[in-house]
Structure 1
């Protein structure tokens, strides 16, 4: 790898609270190290369209508290082709960009890995996804904020559930990962949580709700991750109502409000640490790695390991706890 003089930074895939704080850290750390920074708008699509922004330290002022991403984000099918990857690299090279910081989820990291291996451009990835489903980091950017958003919704819904003796099914994001559902379920005191990683039969759920009703529970909250094998919250609620009519049942889909909003203090600090570390790692000659947090230490994980979903699993103690504490 030649000496790095100009770093490109971009966000890709789904937005996550904390991305702006991370962009700020990347830009200001690079400039402090006398490295130029180019913001690439709309992710890989922006690479193909030369949507570049020569950034200064002032360009990232007053954004640490803002949700979403000032660099925008987009899905780009063309980049996945060999021709598209080559075009992106040629555009980067023409603009003098000789290293990249990619902020996003597994799709973002896969694209950065392919680009780097094909054209030997240094890349460092930062896990920015509310799903919290990448190896190499205990927490991903946006997960804490999204979970807090869900907990606030659960608290408000529980007020009306208790007032009317109702059963509420609350659907949260998590097509392949049940992290938000599990953590929010525990923190929100849910009576049951349905996860993509652990199939729960409808009869098993009904039995649990019946047992709780016999123990004089007059209202209940069931959290349903959108990727649960039984289908979405409406489908689960309908099947439960067919066999169990003790409660008046209602459904709430939280949807994309989980992605928005001002990032929590945890996500702001995490974003700053990861952005700072990513630039330092590139300047120290590291490439094709993900910057993450393990315990309270910043660690680097090879991308092939970070992207190995078979190594990712939910915490066993939390899975046990959700059943114990909901009796």
Structure 2
């Protein structure tokens, strides 16, 4: 392929803090090398509908600290169809895009992989998701900020739980992955954690809470995709087993997605955005920007690269030790 002249960038799926920092890095790195950047509105749906506009230095001034994404995001059902993808490919050609950078989670990666197979358009993927559930990378953009948000909330909930001798079940995001729940449990000093990857035994959990009856409060972190249901369902199920306990639940919800990105997420997003542009300039196409042992690098875009991450054994063992009461 000839020298890169025009690069398209989109954000897709659930938004995550740091996406704007990544967009900023892509624009600044591209413009510094004489490459035009075209922003695509609302993810793959905007690509299908041809909603694109050029991004300039002024477009990304003062956005590094902003949560969300200035480009907008969406989950496009139309892109799942052959007809939808054909429209997207035609729009890429019409706008003379030499390559596409996509920022998002596993669903976004699957869309990018499909696009790369069905067209000659080079694609680079950047992991932007609070879930941190992509196996090929140690960290995803937004995970650190999300964890900080969860921990701040749990700290506040613990204050009131301790004051009233309560057990609180705190629900965090994670339909298929316990990454947020596990790491939040470690960082917040939670007493129990329930995740989709392991089966929850309600009787055993109740017995553990009974054995800790002498403490002033207990915090149980619940991933929304736990096999026993969400926090409300679990509380309704466990209350009859603990008739003398004061049990409450709190669903943190979408505050986990919002907010100004942490310093770590801003730096990670900047490095990954710059890496994506560098890969295209060097002619390394259909790659994923990833982090391994603290270093931003890249791997080939493939179905195996976008598999869901399983919680590491050492993290499970660490948490088990931290949960030990006696």
TM-score, normalized by the shorter chain, greater than 0.5: yes
Moved over 6 A (4+): none
Residue 51 of structure 1: aligned partner: 51
1:135 aligned counterpart, secondary structure: coil
Residue 178 of structure 1: aligned partner: 178
> Could you list the per-position Cα deviations for residues 237-256 of structure 1 after superposition, in whole angstroms to 9, with x for gaps in the alignment?
11111111342011100001
- What does 1:1-327 align with in structure 2 at a 5 Å threshold? 1-213=1-213, 216-304=214-302, 305-309=304-308, 312-326=309-323, 327=325
Q: State which drifts further: 316-325 or 236-245.
A: 316-325
> Could you list the per-position Cα deviations for residues 204-262 of structure 1 after superposition, in whole angstroms to 9, with x for gaps in the alignment?
1112111222xx21210001000000101011111111111342011100001100000
> Which structure 2 residue ranges, 5 or more long, are not aligned?
none
Cα separation, 2, equivalents of 1:153 and 1:24: 29
**TM-score, normalising length from structure 1?**
0.97
Cα separation, 1, equivalents of 2:305 and 2:215: 42
Q: Following TM superposition, by how much is the alpha carbon of 1:161 offset from its aligned partner in structure 2, in angstroms?
A: 0.3
Q: Following TM superposition, by how much is the alpha carbon of 1:306 offset from its aligned partner in structure 2, in angstroms?
A: 1.7
**TM-score, normalising length from structure 2?**
0.97
Asked whether the 8 Å contact 2:136–2:307 carries over to 1, the reply is no
Cα separation, 2, equivalents of 1:191 and 1:223: 8
Q: Following TM superposition, by how much is the alpha carbon of 1:317 offset from its aligned partner in structure 2, in angstroms?
A: 2.0
> Could you list the per-position Cα deviations for residues 99-156 of structure 1 after superposition, in whole angstroms to 9, with x for gaps in the alignment?
0110001111111111111111100000000000112211101000001100000000
Superposed CA RMSD in Å reads 1.0
Q: Following TM superposition, by how much is the alpha carbon of 1:29 offset from its aligned partner in structure 2, in angstroms?
A: 0.3
Count of equivalent residues: 323
Q: Following TM superposition, by how much is the alpha carbon of 1:44 offset from its aligned partner in structure 2, in angstroms?
A: 0.8
Cα separation, 2, equivalents of 1:282 and 1:245: 61
Q: Following TM superposition, by how much is the alpha carbon of 1:308 offset from its aligned partner in structure 2, in angstroms?
A: 2.4
